[in-house]
Amino acid sequence: MNHNYITMNISRKDFLKNTALGIAGVALAPSASIAVTHTNKGMEDAIDYKKNSNLLKLKNVRLETGFEFLDNEVQSTKTDLFTIEIENGKIKSIKPNSTDADAIDAKGYLMLPSFKDMHIHLDKTYFGDKWQAVKRRTGGVKGMIALEQEVMPELLKNSTFKAEKLIELLQSHGSGFARSHVNIEPTSKLKSLTNLQKALENKKNGFNAELVAFPQHGVYYTDSVPYLKEAATMDIDFIGGLDPFSIDGAIEKTIDFTVQLALDNNKGIDIHLHESGDSGVKTIEYLIDKVNENPTLKGKTYLSHCFALGKVEKAKQEELAEKLAASKVGIISTVPFGGLIMPIPTLMNKGVEVLVGNDSIIDHWNTFGSGSVLQKANLAAQLYGYSTELALSRMLKLATAGIVPLDEKGTQQWPKIGDEANVVFLDASCSAEAVSRISDVKSLIVNGNVVY
C-alpha cells in the first residue's frame, strides 16, 4: 500500500469520546448449533434459511466485481448479484443470478470472507456470567499475575460455558475463527486448555480456532516450563510468551526456550510483548535473529501488541518494519491501546503481516471488547486517515486476516470455486461501506454450515 496516512497524537480516551464506538454495547448471540436466522435488528430482515444440509444454494448474493475509476483514482465499487452453491464445506459454483424457487434468498446482502479474531483469550472471561468491572490495579503486569493467581480457580469453574458464549458473541459479529491464547501456568496447570478444548469441540461445526500455549505468569517467574512442555505435545498451534525481560528477567534465555520448544514440536510462536523501552526493541531484534537462524519459523512467528514499535522514532520504526517483513514475523494489534498510536500503516507499507483481535472481552483485564473485528478495522481507518474508497476497502484485511474480494486494480480475487465456505453476509453495498459504517452482520456460514 502507498496510501497517505495521518498520524494523530491523541489519547484513546479522547478518540473514543468523539466516536459512537465509545459507547458500543455487546449482546449475547444465539446458539450456533442450529441453523436459525437472527439479526441484531430482528428476524424479519434476515436471510431466510430453509434448512441446514450439505448443499446450500443461495440467490441474490451481492459480490464485488471491480472498481470504477476516474483519473486513475477509485471512485466506487462495482457489484452484481449471483447464485452461489455451497457443498461439503466448499464453494461449489458461482453463477449468474437465478430465480430458482428452491434457492435461499440472500436478499442482496454483501457476501465477504468471514472475519477472524487473531488475538483473544477465550479461556478466561466474565462474559456469560454476572457483570464485573475491572478492579483497581497495582504493580503493573506482575500485579495482574498476582490477581490471576487468585481469580483463575474461580474462573475455571464454568470456563467452558463462558467460552461457548464468547464464541457465540464472535459469531454474531461475523467471526468464524479465532486465535486464542490459553493460560498455561502453575495455577491453572492445563485446566484452562482442556476446558477451552471442550468448548471448541462443542462448537466445531461453526467455529475454527488456533490455540496458543500462553505462559501468562511468566516462563520462569512462575515455573511454567513443565506445563508448557506438556501443552506443546497436545493439540495447540503456537508457543506463547510474555515480556521476557520485565517478567523473567532474561530476553535470551526465555526466547531461546520458546524457540526451541516450538521447533521441537513443530509449532508457531506468538509472544505478548508489552515492553516499550530498550528491552522491547532488543526482544524484537533478538526474535528476528532467531527466526532467521531457523527459517522454518518464517511465516509462523508473531509479536502481539509489540508496543515498542509505537515508541521509537520514525526511522527506527521503518528499520524494524523492514526486518520484520524480511523475516516474515507478523504483528498482531488490538487497535487502539491507551494513548499509544501503533505504526500500522508503516508496517503494512513495508510488507509486514498485520492482524488484529479483540484481546480481552469483559474480564479482569478489560471490559471494552465488543467482539467485532470489523469495528477494529473501522477504528484503524479512523486513526490513520484511511477514508477513500480504495483505502477503506484495503482495511477490510484487518477483519479478514488478509483476504479482500478485489486487488488494488479491481480484479476479483475472492471468492473462487473450491474456496472454503467461510462467509459473512452484511447489509452493505461494498467493503468500503462495511468498514466505514461497521455494517450489520446478517448471517454467518462456517465450514458450509449456517451458524448465525
Q: Going along 243-318, which residue ranges are E strands?
A: 268-273, 301-305
pLDDT value, residue 336: 79
User: What kind of architecture, by CATH, is found in domain 12-27+115-385?
Assistant: Alpha-Beta Barrel (3.20)
Q: What global pTM score does this model have? A: 0.89
Q: Within the chain, what is the greatest distance between any pair of CA atoms?
A: 66
DSSP 8-state secondary structure symbol assigned to residue 185: B
Query: pLDDT tens per residue, the chain (452 residues)?
Result: 443 333 333 443 343 333 333 323 333 233 333 333 333 333 345 687 755 557 899 999 999 999 999 999 999 999 999 999 999 999 999 999 999 999 999 999 999 999 999 999 999 999 999 888 888 778 888 999 999 999 999 999 999 999 999 999 999 999 999 999 999 999 999 999 999 999 999 999 999 999 999 999 999 999 999 999 999 999 999 999 999 999 999 999 999 999 999 999 999 999 999 999 999 999 999 999 999 999 999 999 999 999 999 999 999 999 999 999 999 999 999 997 778 899 999 999 999 999 999 999 988 898 888 999 999 999 999 999 999 999 999 999 999 999 999 999 999 999 999 999 999 999 999 999 999 999 999 999 999 999 98
**CATH fold of the domain at 43-114+403-450:** Urease, subunit C; domain 1 (2.30.40)
Grid cell at residue 266: 513443530
pLDDT value, residue 140: 85
Cα-Cα-Cα-Cα dihedral of 127, 129, 131, 134, to 10°?
-60
CA-closest candidate to residue 198, choices 170, 158, 229, 232: 158
Q: Where are the domains of the chain?
A: 12-27+115-385, 43-114+403-450
**Do 1 and 394 form a contact (C-beta atoms < 8 A)?**
yes
**Do 105 and 47 form a contact (C-beta atoms < 8 A)?**
yes
Q: Is 333 helix (H, G, I), strand (E, B) or coil?
A: strand
CA-closest candidate to residue 84, choices 51, 62, 64, 67: 62
CA 37 – CA 42 distance, rounded (Å) = 9
